[in-house]
Structure 1
Amino acid sequence: MRYLITLALLGYTMASFAQDPADIFHRTVDIDRVNSLSFDVYPKDQVEYKTWPGDDLLIETSVQIQNVKQDILDFYMRQNRYLLKPQVQGDQMSLVSFDKTRRAVKGTEANAYENVVIVVYVPEDFTLAGEGQYRRISK
């Protein structure tokens, strides 16, 4: 009996400390020859734009998925599900979500809930030119 109580207490403790998988990753993009930036991000992702004194574009992506195991998040990270892919034409660069048709993630209880927050650090020598568009003010 004592063994069962101990086992139940241990199981409860492990379940209460279990967390949903989450990851944060960073990526820099060289924009030395770019004078115009635009962003085409998956509509359900939250995007914040901030200025910083760096020379490159810094993209910080935070992903949390509820009701799945860590292996599922790792798989999606390897498949570049949350990646912003640069497309350059002349001196213009568009950063486009790699996976624009994300299918629902099947979780352990039902569909999983994805929370993706992307923070884009834009160099100080760029200025806001519209919704998700930046232009270099000096070069």
Structure 2
Amino acid sequence: MRYLLSVALLGIAAVAFAQDPADIFHKTVDLDSINVVNLDVYEYDQYEVRQWPGDDILIETSVKINNGKPHILKFFLEQKRWDLKEEVAGDRLSLVSRDKVRRVVQGTQGTTSETVNIVVYIPQEFTAAGSNVYQRSTK
């Protein structure tokens, strides 16, 4: 009887803790000679810009794979699917989504989807200067 009870509790715990794979990763970007920052983020990613007292940009990306396996998340992390790449031209920095054509992944249990939330922490000395454009106010 105890054995069956133990197996039942383990089964319930396994089902309760079975979640879609998710991860949070961080990236910093140096702003020494940069005076203007432009954001060009994939249209279906949710993102927000916050100011912080640091000297660099900190990018925090949270990804959740819905109806997927952990190896799918690991593969796409290695491929930098959700990365914002840096493009510098003079004193202007553009942070651009590396993959803007995200193909849907077909699994054995149906189609997977992804939820991506990006928070870009920009130093306090940068102020909004238009749609997704931030300019250094002092230097």
1:11 deviation in Å?
Answer: 3.0
For residue 116 of structure 2, what is the aligned residue in structure 1?
Answer: 116
Residues 108 and 3 (structure 1 numbering): CA distance in 2 closer, same or farther, change over 3 Å? farther
Give 1:131 shift: 1.4
User: Mapping of 1:55-134 within 5 angstroms?
Assistant: 55-134=55-134
- Contact 1:61–1:119, Cα closer than 8 Å, also in 2: yes
Which AA in structure 1 matches 2:76? Y
Aligned residues: 139
Q: After superposition, where does 1:5-84 map in structure 2 within 5 Å?
A: 7=7, 10-84=10-84
SS of the residue corresponding to residue 34 of structure 2 reads coil
| CA displacement 1:65-99 (0-9 Å, x = unmatched) | 11111111000000000000000000001000011
Which TM-score applies when normalising by structure 2? 0.92
Q: % of aligned pairs identical?
A: 56
Q: In the TM superposition, what whole-angstrom CA distance separates every residue of 1:91-128 from its partner, at most 9, and x where no partner exists?
A: 00100001111101224522112110000000011000
- Structure 2 CA distance, aligned partners of 1:110 and 1:33? 47
Q: TM-score scaled to structure 1, two decimals?
A: 0.92
Alpha-carbon separation, structure 2, partners of 1:130 and 1:59: 20
Runs of at least 5 residues in structure 1 that lack an aligned partner in the other structure: none
For residues 32 and 21 of structure 2, the distance between their equivalents in structure 1, rounded to whole angstroms, comes to: 36
Superposed displacement of residue 46, structure 1: 0.4
